[in-house]
A = this chain, B = another copy of it.
Amino acid sequence: MSTQPPEGDSEEKTDVERRNADVCNVVGAVEEVGSKWKLVILNDLRDGEKRFNELKRSTGASSYTLSRVLNDLEEEGFIDNRKELESPVASYYTLTEKGGDLCPVFDALDEWGADWLE
């Protein structure tokens, strides 16, 4: 909710951005999920539900970064967060439909990487 420190959202669209949006929405998509950590985390959640420290280990993100990006992703509707407040608190993250619909993007990236990264 209160993500004040590193928040720099600008809702205003420039003419250029609007014009590009008319042509295609690649730019819009890039603006929303075009950051490294968002992509890495979302891609990681394709396997299914994961917990905070699990994501921390598998992505290599710091607690701070992971926490912030997860909050952003949740606010933007890419992931859901289920919390269990019992003894050792547990927090589980899953992809929403919006997030899951990015799978074709990851598949395409994966395929491209298979051809050009080895």
Contacts and interface: CB of A to CB of B under 8 A. Distances in A.
Interface of A: 1, 3, 14-17, 19-21, 23-32, 34-36, 39-40, 43-44, 47, 54, 57-60, 98, 101-102, 104-118
A76 to B, nearest CB: 10
B111 A3 contact: yes
A79 to B, nearest CB: 14
Contacts of A47: 19
Nearest to A2: B114
Given A19-B47, A36-B34, A26 B102 contact: no
A112 B98 CA distance: 9
Given A27-B43, A29-B109, A16 B104 contact: no
